[in-house]
Amino acid sequence: AIAGALAGVEVEPVLTAHPTEAKRATVLEQHRALYLHLVAGENQMWTPAERDLIREDVKADLERLWRTGDIFLERPGVADELRNVVHYLLRVFPEAIPRVDARLRSGWQAAGLDPMLLDHGRLPRLSFGTWVGGDRDGHPFVTADVTRRTLGELHGNAVELIDGSLQTLTVGLSLSGRLVDVPSALSDWLSASAEAAGGAGRQAIERNPEESFRQCVNLMRARLPGGPASNPYRTASELVADLTLLHDWLVEVGADRLAHHDLEPAIRLAETFGFHLARLDIRQNSRFHDLAVGQLLAAARVPDGELFGEWDEASRLELLATELQSPRPLARPDAELGDEAKAVLACYRVVRAHIDERGPEGLGSLIVSMTRSVSDLLAVYLLAKEAGLATIERGELRCLLPVVPLFETIDDLEAGPGILRTFLQHPVTGRTLEALTGDGTSPSQQVMIGYSDSNKDGGILASLWALYRAQEALAGVGEAEGVAIRFFHGRGGTISRGAGPTHRFLRALPPGSMSGSLRLTEQGETISQKYANRITAEHHLELLLAGAAGSAIGTPAARAIPHHLEPVMDDLAAASRTAYAGLLQRDRFVEFFRLATPVDVIERSSIGSRPARRTGRATLADLRAIPWVFAWSQSRYFLSGWFGLGSALEGLRSADGATFQDLLDHVFDWAPLHYIISNAATAIANSDAEVMEMYAGLVGENGLRSEFLPSILEERQRTLETLEEIYGGRLSDRRPNIARTLELRAPALRPLHERQIDLIGQWRADPDDDSLLDELLVTVNAIAGGLGSTG
- How are beta strands 390-393 and 396-399 bridged, if at all? antiparallel
Question: What is the phi/psi pair of residue 166, to 5°?
Answer: -65, -35
454-495 residue pLDDT tens: 999 999 999 999 999 999 999 999 999 999 999 999 998 788
User: Range of 373's domain?
Assistant: 279-490
Q: Please tell me the distance from the alpha carbon of residue 582 to that of residue 646, in angstroms, as a whole number.
A: 14
Domain boundary among 490, 511, 530: 490
Residue 19: pLDDT band by 50, 70, 90 thresholds? very low
**Quick check: is 379 in a domain?**
yes
DSSP state of 70: -
More confident residue, 748 or 554: 748
Report the candidate in 490, 485, 604, 556 with the shortest Cα–Cα distance to residue 1: 556
Helix (H, G, I), strand (E, B) or coil at 58: helix
| β-strand partners of 145 | none
Both 606 and 461 in a single domain?
Answer: no
User: Using CA atoms in the order 368, 610, 361, 387, what is the torsion angle rounded to 10 degrees?
Assistant: 60
Both 658 and 783 in a single domain?
Answer: yes
Both 369 and 479 in a single domain?
Answer: yes
Cα atoms in the 13 Å half-sphere on the side-chain side of 583: 26
More confident residue, 440 or 12: 12
Give residue 576's Cα distance to chain centre: 28
Sign (positive/negative) of CA torsion 526, 531, 533, 537? positive
168-202 residue pLDDT tens: 999 999 998 888 899 999 999 999 999 999 999 99
CA distances from 510 to 342, 506, 522, 544, 620 (A): 41, 9, 21, 16, 31
Report, as an integer, the average pLDDT of 571-583. Answer: 97
Instruction: Please count the structural domains in the chain.
Output: 2
DSSP state of 84: H
**Quick check: is 767 in a domain?**
yes
402-442 residue pLDDT tens: 999 999 999 999 999 999 999 999 999 999 999 998 766 78
Residues noted as catalytic: 18, 456
Domain boundary among 490, 514, 536: 490
- How are beta strands 363-369 and 129-130 bridged, if at all? unpaired
Residue 582 neighbours by CB under 8 Å, 6+ apart: none
Domain boundary among 455, 490, 525: 490
Residue 588 neighbours by CB under 8 Å, 6+ apart: 704, 707
Q: Please tell me the distance from the alpha carbon of residue 525 to that of residue 521, in angstroms, as a whole number.
A: 12
Report, as an integer, the average pLDDT of 516-545. Answer: 88
| β-strand partners of 231 | none
**Quick check: is 671 in a domain?**
yes
- How are beta strands 484-490 and 279-285 bridged, if at all? unpaired
Q: At 33, which amino acid appears? A: A
For the chain, the first-to-last Cα distance in angstroms comes to 42
Q: What is the pLDDT of residue 117?
A: 82
**Quick check: is 580 in a domain?**
yes
Q: Please tell me the distance from the alpha carbon of residue 57 to that of residue 41, in angstroms, as a whole number.
A: 10
209: left (phi over 0), alpha (psi -120 to 50) or beta: beta
Q: What is the pLDDT of residue 118?
A: 84
Q: What is the pLDDT of residue 148?
A: 98
**Quick check: is 635 in a domain?**
yes
Residue 20: pLDDT band by 50, 70, 90 thresholds? very low
140-160 residue pLDDT tens: 999 999 999 999 999 999 999
DSSP string, 296-342: HHHHTT-TTGGGGGGS-HHHHHHHHHHHHH-SS-SS-TT----HHHH
Q: Look over the chain and give the mean of its residue pLDDT values, rounded to a whole number.
A: 91
Report, as an integer, the average pLDDT of 8-28. Answer: 75
Q: Please tell me the distance from the alpha carbon of residue 786 to that of residue 745, in angstroms, as a whole number.
A: 6
126-136 residue pLDDT tens: 999 999 999 99
**Quick check: is 501 in a domain?**
no
Both 578 and 452 in a single domain?
Answer: no
CB 431 within 8 A of CB 488: no
Residue 617: pLDDT band by 50, 70, 90 thresholds? low
Task: Decide if pLDDT at 378 tops 60.
Answer: yes
Both 573 and 483 in a single domain?
Answer: no
Q: Please tell me the distance from the alpha carbon of residue 266 to that of residue 273, in angstroms, as a whole number.
A: 11
Report the candidate in 211, 380, 202 with the shortest Cα–Cα distance to residue 292: 380
Task: Decide if pLDDT at 789 tops 90.
Answer: no
**Quick check: is 559 in a domain?**
no
Q: What is the pLDDT of residue 35?
A: 84
CB 510 within 8 A of CB 472: yes
Q: Please tell me the distance from the alpha carbon of residue 325 to that of residue 320, in angstroms, as a whole number.
A: 9
| β-strand partners of 518 | 11
Both 450 and 572 in a single domain?
Answer: no
Both 585 and 453 in a single domain?
Answer: no
Using only C-alpha atoms, the chain has a radius of gyration, in whole angstroms, of: 28
- How are beta strands 444-450 and 484-490 bridged, if at all? parallel
Report, as an integer, the average pLDDT of 11-22. Answer: 75
Both 307 and 404 in a single domain?
Answer: yes
pTM over 0.85: yes
Among the ranges given (28-37, 246-255, 609-618), the one the predictor scored with the smallest mean pLDDT: 609-618
CB 95 within 8 A of CB 52: no
CA angle 413, 416, 420 (to 5 degrees): 155
Task: Decide if pLDDT at 557 tops 60.
Answer: no
CB 766 within 8 A of CB 736: no
Helix (H, G, I), strand (E, B) or coil at 443: coil
CB 481 within 8 A of CB 425: yes
**Quick check: is 782 in a domain?**
yes
Give residue 340's Cα distance to chain centre: 26
Report, as an integer, the average pLDDT of 742-770. Answer: 94
CB 776 within 8 A of CB 601: yes
Q: Please tell me the distance from the alpha carbon of residue 227 to that of residue 221, in angstroms, as a whole number.
A: 7
Among the ranges given (117-131, 320-334, 542-556, 594-608), the one the predictor scored with the smallest mean pLDDT: 542-556
Both 447 and 581 in a single domain?
Answer: no
Both 355 and 443 in a single domain?
Answer: yes
